[in-house]
């Protein structure tokens, strides 16, 4: 069994159906999980839903149903999204599960035992939409002069009895963490923001509410429910069986990567490590805050009428095309933009016209001109140069970039290798060699067969269904599709020994068409 790798997404707040941002994070996490599995790691991949808090209670009240009914209905939409987008999660953690309540209460008890919890009275600004407390100095003025949170959301003055966490005690330990482990927060711009915030001083944090009861009960204070972020962050422990710190917990904790949106960086890089320090639990190794996905450069909102259902995009363009576009188009960690035109143009140019056309042409010529038969072949310097270029991209450049979460540049290296293959096809002109030098044609086609196999394996984490469809046609066994398999020179001889013969090839990357109702950009 390989070295453990535990990756989590932020758990989604299900007071509405999934939007493109949820899909983007789930796809990115899935690409990472599949990449690490393909690299030989023992991966544990967790996602889920964050079902407590005042927003959920208010939404349920508006609909005239119990909060648990709303949670059950809405969480299913997120499960369906993950399944439809081919998200290979191992655990879907819901915070309404009894096991999660037990985990959250145990974390609370440990923080209390450390002397970091005390009962007092909270008076201050609270944003229901953000489920966050804000200092007066952080507020901004709205168009009508009203006070808003830094995110532009409404805030209300809240007064109630509350348990507090001594967050003020953790400024120095947190700054020490950021200094000694600079890659704890990535990208660097986010680390700099958080460092400056903590350097400005931390106030103790209100961590319970008495004005509503939809949440995890505070131990020994049944009239209090935990602040939703105490509850939500604990999910990363719950999914490993905490507080039962058995073999599973010992193997996978601390988490290797919390993948989150940049708007919740503060909760994951200040509150969460402080809670864990207080409870005597090891800290996660990395927190990566990705950017927002914008619709034609604009943030999606109901008022603008530009909210996109990711399932609609997947249905229109295909799951793998959507996955590819998002990982290729957006520099991971920065904001990115999408539009129907951008999806169609990118996927047609690179998947359909470049890689798909390469694979289809090569396999069709082998099927037609070699009767689908593979055989031993000796390569020339030109063939060796191509295979070395492809190997460098598939074995080295793409995996190195993906390990650093630099997906767009990793795929760029892959695309350059495809361009080299297509240039090689044009230069060698196997359709001409068929008449002038059939033996040379055979060598050229089998060289390209090897290149297509390497390229399909390399891109599997991004387009798993399409890549596996192609590899099935190439006769590559399911257990020979890892990155280590790219360095196994015996694969071709095993295909020959098995008597593999290529069948009629079927294209795996169809050209996309713009929907008729697409508005011009």
pLDDT tens digit sequence for 56-107: 999 999 999 999 999 999 999 999 999 999 999 999 999 999 999 999 999 9
Binned at pLDDT 50, 70 and 90, residue 117 comes out as very high
How far, in Å, CA of 139 to CA of 68, rounded?
A: 33
pLDDT for position 124: 82
pLDDT for position 521: 47
Binned at pLDDT 50, 70 and 90, residue 1 comes out as confident
Least confident piece of the model among 17-26, 119-128, 184-193: 119-128
Sign of CA dihedral 429, 434, 436, 441: positive
Rounded to two decimals, the pTM is 0.93
3-state secondary structure of 141: strand
Return the H-helix or E-strand segment holding 496: helix 491-497
Averaged pLDDT, 141-162: 89
> Any alpha helices (H) in 244-305, and if so which ranges?
247-252, 265-266, 272-279
pLDDT for position 306: 61
Does residue 161 carry a pLDDT above 60? Answer: yes
Domain spans of the chain, in order of start: 343-497
Q: Which residues, 6+ apart, have CB-to-CB distance to 162 below 8 Å?
A: 119, 120, 121, 122, 206, 207, 208, 209, 210, 224
Topology of domain 343-497, per CATH? Answer: Isoleucyl-tRNA Synthetase; Domain 1 (1.10.730)
Nearest of 484, 299, 472, 519 to residue 399 by alpha carbon: 484
Question: Could you tell me what percent of the chain has a pLDDT over 90?
Answer: 87
* Per-residue buried b or exposed e for 449-480, using 16+ beta carbons within 10 Å of the residue's own CB: bbbbbbbbbbbbbbbbebbbbbbebbbbeeeb
Does residue 246 carry a pLDDT above 90? Answer: yes
Does residue 519 carry a pLDDT above 60? Answer: no
- pLDDT one-digit tens code per residue, 271-302: 999 999 999 999 999 999 999 988 877 676 55
3-state secondary structure of 302: coil
CA 503, 509, 510 angle in degrees (round to 5)?
Answer: 105
3-state secondary structure of 282: coil
Sign of CA dihedral 496, 500, 501, 505: negative
- pLDDT one-digit tens code per residue, 429-471: 999 999 999 999 999 999 999 999 999 999 999 999 999 999 9
């Amino acid at each position: 069994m390989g070295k453990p790798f535990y990756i989590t997404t932020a758990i989604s707040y299900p007071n509405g159906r999934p939007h493109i941002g949820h899909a983007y994070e789930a796809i990115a996490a899935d690409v990472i999980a599949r990449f690490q599995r393909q690299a030989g790691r023992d991966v544990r991949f967790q996602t889920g839903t964050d079902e407590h808090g005042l927003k959920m209670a208010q939404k349920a009240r508006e609909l005239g149903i119990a909060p648990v009914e709303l949670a059950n209905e809405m969480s299913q939409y997120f499960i369906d999204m993950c399944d439809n987008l081919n998200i290979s999660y191992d655990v879907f953690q819901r915070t309404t599960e009894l096991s999660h309540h037990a985990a959250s209460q145990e974390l609370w008890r440990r923080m209390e035992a450390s002397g970091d919890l005390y009962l007092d009275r909270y008076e201050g600004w609270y944003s229901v939409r953000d489920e966050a407390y804000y200092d007066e100095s952080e507020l901004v003025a709205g168009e009508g002069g009203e006070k808003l949170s830094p995110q532009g959301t409404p805030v209300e003055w809240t007064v109630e009895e509350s348990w507090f966490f001594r967050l003020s005690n953790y400024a120095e330990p947190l700054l020490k963490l950021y200094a000694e482990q600079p890659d704890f927060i990535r990208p660097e711009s986010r680390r700099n923001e958080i460092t400056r915030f903590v350097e400005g001083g931390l106030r103790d944090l209100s961590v319970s509410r008495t004005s509503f009861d939809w949440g995890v009960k505070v131990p020994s204070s049944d009239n209090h429910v935990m602040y939703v972020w105490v509850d939500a962050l604990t999910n990363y422990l719950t999914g490993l069986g905490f507080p039962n710190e058995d073999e599973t917990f010992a193997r996978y904790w601390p988490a290797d990567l919390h993948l989150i949106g940049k708007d919740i960086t503060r909760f994951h890089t200040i509150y969460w490590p402080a809670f864990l320090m207080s409870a005597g639990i090891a800290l996660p190794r990395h927190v990566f805050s990705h950017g927002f996905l914008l619709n034609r450069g604009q943030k999606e909102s109901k008022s603008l009428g530009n909210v996109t259902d990711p399932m609609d995009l997947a249905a229109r363009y295909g799951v793998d095309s959507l996955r590819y576009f998002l990982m290729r188009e957006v520099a991971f960690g920065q904001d990115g933009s999408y539009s129907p035109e951008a999806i169609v143009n990118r996927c047609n140019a690179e998947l359909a016209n470049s890689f798909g056309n390469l694979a289809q042409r090569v396999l069709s010529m082998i099927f037609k001109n070699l009767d689908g038969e593979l055989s031993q072949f000796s390569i020339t310097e030109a063939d060796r140069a191509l295979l070395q270029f492809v190997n460098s991209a598939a074995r080295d450049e793409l995996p190195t970039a993906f390990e650093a979460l630099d997906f767009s540049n990793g795929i760029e290296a892959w695309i350059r290798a495809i361009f080299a293959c297509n240039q090689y096809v044009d230069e060698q002109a196997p359709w001409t060699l068929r008449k002038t030098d059939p033996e040379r044609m055979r060598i050229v086609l089998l060289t390209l067969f090897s290149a297509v196999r390497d390229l399909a394996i390399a891109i599997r984490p991004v387009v798993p269904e399409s890549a596996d469809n192609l590899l099935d046609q190439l006769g590559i066994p399911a257990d020979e599709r890892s990155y280590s398999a790219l360095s196994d020179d015996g694969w071709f001889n095993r295909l020959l020994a098995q008597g593999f013969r290529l069948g009629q090839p079927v294209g795996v990357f169809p050209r996309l068409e713009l929907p008729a109702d697409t508005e011009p950009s």
